[in-house]
């Protein structure tokens, strides 16, 4: 068994697509239209194009429990998911220059350094560097 797809709820697929590709650097793997103006929109890391796909899931717009959960995580400041990076400080600097808003600046805790940013589509995302 292996993980091939991971969903992240987004309030606006088009806005999320631009943020995740233009600012974070992911690339679109699949983009197929679905009913109701939604899309099957998956992204992959350019460094691991055969790795797990990230589905930009419009569930908060159609499934109230998803919206409630997403809103509760955001209000509590809890990241929805995390992305590993080689250098949190460098990513923080790069993304800050692209106007990405961080709620937690690079911070060391034990064997990791992390930072948390807002993806503009309803989620806090944590960046993690193993020290």
pLDDT for position 40 = 98
pLDDT for position 76 = 97
pLDDT for position 38 = 95
In the three-class reduction of DSSP (H, G, I as helix; E, B as strand; rest coil), residue 16 is classed as: helix
pLDDT for position 65 = 97
Domain 5-130: homologous superfamily in CATH = 2,3-Dihydroxybiphenyl 1,2-Dioxygenase, domain 1 (3.10.180.10)
Separation of alpha carbons 60 and 65, rounded Å: 8
pTM of the model as a whole: 0.95
Q: What is the mean pLDDT of residues 49-64?
A: 95
Please give the full DSSP string across 36-85, using - where no structure is assigned: GG-EEEEEEBTTBTTS-EEEEE-GGGT-HHHHHHHHHHHHHT--SEEEE-
């Amino acid at each position: 068994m292996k993980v091939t797809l991971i969903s992240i709820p987004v309030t606006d697929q088009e806005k999320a697509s631009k943020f995740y590709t233009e600012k974070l650097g992911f690339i679109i793997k699949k983009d197929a239209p679905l009913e109701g103006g939604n899309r099957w929109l998956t992204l992959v890391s350019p460094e691991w194009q055969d790795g797990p796909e990230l589905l930009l899931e419009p569930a908060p717009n159609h499934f109230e429990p998803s919206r409630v959960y997403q809103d509760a995580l955001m209000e509590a400041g809890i990241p929805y998911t995390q992305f590993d990076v080689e250098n949190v400080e460098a990513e923080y600097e790069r993304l800050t220059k692209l106007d990405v808003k961080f709620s937690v600046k690079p911070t060391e805790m034990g064997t990791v350094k992390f930072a948390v940013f807002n993806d503009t589509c309803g989620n806090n995302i944590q960046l993690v560097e193993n020290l």
